[in-house]
Amino acid sequence: MEQLLSIGAEALRKAALNEDAKAYVLNNEALYKLMKKAADRYIGGENLSETLIKVQDSNDTGFKCSIEYMGESTRSIMQAAKATDEFLDICKAIEQKNLNSTISLDLSHIGLEVSESLCYEHLSKICETAKDREVIISAEGTERTDRILKLYQNGSKKYANLSITLQAYLHRTTDDFEAMCNERGRIRIVKGAFETAKGLSLPRGQELNNRYIYFVEQLLSKGHPCSIATHHHEIQQEVKKLIDTLKPNKELYEFESLFGIQTDQLAQLKDEGYPTKLYFVYGQEWYLYLCNRLAEYPLNLFRALQDIVESK
């Protein structure tokens, strides 16, 4: 069974990166509607207005949230500027509605592949518009890691509301972690889901789980703001033990889950008094996101089929 799940996960990750498959789904009206039914479980909506309703509902039940406009790898100044405008709208909507929410983004979505200077200009606008709301830089493929961390370090010196994501499965993160701890922003720890070249990362398993817990323990011990972004129940339980021992200020940490994935576990943590956050994404570029969510646990394919069959 484990081998079959691994094969399924690998196939789904490859499908996520297949531009021809993505174009076929998004341009085929019938297939688009079917796949969208499966995606609805995991996304806030196709536009910001739909997502804000879900964020408000989540706030009302005690969850902090984060909002991301889906998309990456803009290749022109115009595309990057358009995406940046959408993130500025998110910042303004959060303030206007007084939502308990942060903003998350991929740097490649706001111009990283056009130029680093353009990307930094756009990131600065977003940080300034967000004011005291946190802006979290998401993780991307390893070919972008150096540039992402460089821009974060530059931005962190100016913007106190800027945070970074580190991927525990990458071997390089052991060194990156020490450097990022010297910056003031929150460090969001994820396991990592991108396909990498051989030798660059750990596979899923106990060694990765131990490394993840090590990073979190270091952050809690140092009193450095952190986000524990994992759905792994055993890791959550181990981190709870660390928190109960170290007793950090609740402002310093949060448990985070993606909307639609094992939300019951996050609700349990919330009910136990731990700070929690639901991560919402929205937009029409949901194909990659759906494939990656299914790849994390391929048995979710059966749930996707159920969503397709039962949704009206």
Determine whether the annotation assigns residue 231 to a binding site: yes
Between the CA of residue 257 and those of 189, 230, 254, 288, what are the distances in Å?
A: 12, 6, 10, 18
Burial, 61: exposed, middle or buried (Cβ in 10 Å; 0-12, 13-18, 19+)? exposed
Q: For 68, list phi and psi in degrees, rounded to 5.
A: -130, 135
As a whole number of angstroms, the longest Cα–Cα distance in the chain is 54
Task: Determine if residue 193 is labeled as part of a ligand binding site.
Answer: yes
| Among the listed residues 89, 86, 66, 65, the one whose alpha carbon sits nearest the alpha carbon of residue 74 | 86
**Phi, psi dihedrals of residue 277, rounded to the nearest 5°:** -140, 135
Supply 3's token pair.
């081998």
Q: DSSP string covering 195-232, please? A: ---TTSBPPSSHHHHHHHHHHHHHHHHHT--EEEE---
In angstroms, the Cα distances linking 159 to 6, 33, 125, 148, 186 are: 41, 41, 11, 15, 12
Whether 185 and 163 have beta carbons less than 8 Å apart is answered as yes
Tokens of 163: 């945070």
Element (H, E) at 265: helix 263-271
Cα 26 to Cα 23: distance, rounded to the nearest angstrom? 5
Q: Check the annotation: does 82 bind a ligand.
A: no
d(CA 260, CA 279): 9
* Residue 191 annotated as lining a ligand binding site: yes
Summarize the annotated binding site as residue ranges: 167, 191-193, 230-231
Summarize the annotated binding site for FAD as residue ranges: 167, 191-193, 230-231
